[in-house]
Amino acid sequence: MMKFNYTLLSFFCILFIVSCDKNETSLIQKEELQAEVPDIVLGKKLENPYTVENMQKAYDNLNKENGLKSSFQIQTTDLYVRFAPADEEQWQQLRADSLELFDMPLDYEIEEGGTFYHDPGISTDQITWQYTVVPVNYNFPDVTYEVLAELFLQEEDQEDSGMTKSGLMQNNDWANLEDEALKITGNYNPEDYQEEGNLKRKWRPSGEIKVEDDYMGVIPLVGVRVVVKRWFKWKHSITDKNGKFSTAKFRSKTVKYGIKWERRDFDIRSGSYGQAWYNFVKKRKESWNLTITKASTPKSWLYAHIHRAAMTYFYDYGRWGLTPPPRRTGIKKLKHRLHIAGKDKSGRSHYFTFNNFIWSAQVAVYSKSKKGKELNSREIFGTTIHELAHVAHWGMGYSTGQFVLDALTSDPKLPESWAVGVEWKVTKDIYGSYPEDLQSYTIKSITDNKGYTPLVIDLIDDENQKVTHYNNSAYPDDKVSGYTLKQLNDALPGALGSWWSWRTKIKEKYNNSTEENVDYLFRTYN
């Protein structure tokens, strides 16, 4: 078997990307690796009521007034920290500890909402500070960190039983202590806590997340990770098939709702580097019923439709018999999430494996084509499916070395024809119809389209392009039909697989009454 020189291969990896406009192999442009300008603006820093010092003051005040029913000691239970991961490896190490990481500090007001925050003191091509709270006995990994405050916190779900982090505490003691600490730091609002004289009464934040679709109207956004937070406490929930969510209870009436665009196997980034958010929205004992529209929040609208496609490919792949992109579960666990950049500008969507080495997003999906045409929701969905088909194909053994070889010798017909076919079938099944452009490639346009052939479409459907186009000889005389996406998926060759080995495996593995015409299609599109 032929082996590639690693240095040479790395050089070619730098030069070539799998890019889709419906696209072409091209040199990386500088803007591809630039981070976007943060659009979340911090306001003033708030005095922290949960520090051990302020909690001790509150305890002493209440003790003087006999405002506590139990005796307990104020001591450090948690640490408010920020980490500075040097690279993707360290960042993922923190995530592996199940830490909820925030790009923005937790003790600041947010002056202006948005989708992305990056500390101005850190270069935009580096990971920004990651803020969180850890237990006092947390075993810190070998990642640079800073302790911002020692905290005295109690879990509200433990409070009802009387057993808290500091031992036995009467039911209302924590509520009274917290209120007093909020008062002495200027953060108390009586409307947030008192209700019918019962300090312990709690409520369950909930809501419904939907997105506007250009073809299907307003539809539920499934599988979205909603984070609900208040100061140094947060809870999260995943939206169900109806877009609904509900979290554990809070005592405070006022909470902040937000969306962190990530799941276990993938996340969405604002540009190449920063975690994408739907910024936190403050609500006072009110459900968060959100419809994401293009007119009001174009970036979040882009993220929402990328999310829909990623959820479909990662978690509903069995519907089409597809091999999923590499995941973080199963026998072959993926170490890192797949990063998908949502770029709200013109560009060439692509999958670029070399970005693994610089922790930039491996997949980029743009809201506009290279020529500036705005993509609708179906096109964003289809483009994301197309790029994830590449990710899955590489995961099956196809390599960047083979892609480079194909690109240098002719066109990368195998990976691109496969991705076109997956995009067509999955998007067609989700939307019920699909633009004709994926099926309208002709023999004459193959050279101009760098191998983006309708081969997979022709192997599956029963449409003869030549007949449809009034026997125009510029169109293939397509007499093949009846193959399934699963069959074509399972016949894909692995490492160093070729266009012709794919054809051979298709014919050898499956009996099809039209298979005598398969050779004709492969020759036509070669």
Token couple for 217: 């109207």
pLDDT(348) > 80? yes
CATH number of the domain that residue 368 is part of:
2.60.40.10
- The verdict on residue 6 lying in a domain is no
Q: Is-contact 359 274, C-beta < 8 A?
A: no
What does pLDDT average to over the chain? 83
Over residues 48-100, the pLDDT tens digits come to: 999 999 999 999 999 888 878 887 889 999 999 999 988 878 887 887 777 89
- Helices 377-395 and 413-431 meet at what angle, rounded to 10? 130
Task: Indicate whether 227 and 369 sit together in one domain.
Answer: yes
Of 371, 347, 458, 243, nearest to 31 by C-alpha is 347
**Bridging pattern class, strands 277-284 and 254-260:** antiparallel
- Between CA 511 and CA 278 the distance in angstroms is 50
Task: Indicate whether 298 and 252 sit together in one domain.
Answer: yes
Q: Give the domain range for residue 26.
A: 20-33+202-373
- The verdict on residue 516 lying in a domain is no
Of 373, 399, 423, at which residue does a domain stop? Answer: 373
Residue 224: exposed, middle, or buried by beta-carbon count in 10 A (0-12, 13-18, 19+)? Answer: buried
pTM above 0.85, yes or no: yes
Residue 464 DSSP SS3: coil
Q: What per-residue string of b and e applies to 270-286 under the rule 16 or more CB within 10 Å gives b? A: bbbbbbbbbbbbebeeb
Lowest model confidence (mean pLDDT) among 27-31, 48-52, 291-295, 481-485: 27-31
- Between CA 445 and CA 482 the distance in angstroms is 25
Please report, to the nearest 10 degrees, the dihedral formed by the alpha carbons of residues 351, 355, 357, 359 taken in order: -120
- The verdict on residue 279 lying in a domain is yes
Of 322, 342, 373, at which residue does a domain stop? Answer: 373
pLDDT: which is higher, 524 or 69: 524
Confidence band of 4 (pLDDT split at 50, 70, 90): very low
Over residues 314-328, the pLDDT tens digits come to: 999 999 999 999 887
- Bridge partners of 6? none
Over residues 9-54, the pLDDT tens digits come to: 444 444 444 555 554 433 333 344 445 666 788 889 999 999 999 9
Task: Indicate whether 66 and 158 sit together in one domain.
Answer: yes
Task: Indicate whether 298 and 172 sit together in one domain.
Answer: no
Of 339, 358, 373, at which residue does a domain stop? Answer: 373
pLDDT: which is higher, 400 or 28: 400
